[in-house]
Structure 1
């Protein structure tokens, strides 16, 4: 599985943005990261997120720590990942 690192593309698994993709912009501590969609691309606002509420994917973009939304969007465009970021992911339901 992919690790939690700056530039890693993740899927939000909880909250109102569940199913949306985001990019890790900064690592706050061992429990929290700063993520952004950016909002114009995937609808995820720049905010702090618990690492248990995101699921890393195998994709990554090369950004610097604390990159702005415009820089992140530019790197996603360069990598050809804008359409990938706009796709919603349907959460898996577990049956008990």
Structure 2
């Protein structure tokens, strides 16, 4: 099982969209993937993301490589994960400052 594969649901851990869930749509190379929210559902735009800024979840939807936002949205609704995708995740702080 690959950790970062097409259809895997992840949480963005950094950037302005940190805490939002997204879906991997395509694998660009060893370090980057193409993700989408879609924006109408989670607020995450379709964009390239570094895998170091993603945390994969155990959930996965069935989509084709390069699927459009409408196809991703339909697959999320079919899997019954619409409410799950809308929920924000509070990112944990990794450093402690004293």
Give yes or no for TM over 0.5. yes
Which residue matches 1:46? 46
Residues 1:74 and 2:74 aligned together? yes
Which residue matches 2:59? 59
Give the deviation of 1:95 after TM superposition. 4.4
Gaps of 5+ in 2: none
Which residue matches 1:35? 35
Root mean square deviation, CA, Å: 1.4
Deviating above 4 A after TM superposition, structure 1's stretches of 4 or more consecutive aligned residues are none
User: How far apart in 2 are the matches of 1:14 and 1:95?
Assistant: 14
Listed one character per residue, the Cα deviations across residues 17-64 of structure 1 (whole Å, up to 9, x for unaligned) are 000000000000000000000000000000000000000000000000
User: How far apart in 1 are the matches of 2:88 and 2:39?
Assistant: 14
**TM-score, structure 1 normalization:** 0.96
Which protein has the larger Cα radius of gyration, Structure 1 or Structure 2? 2
Gaps of 5+ in 1: none
**TM-score, structure 2 normalization:** 0.94
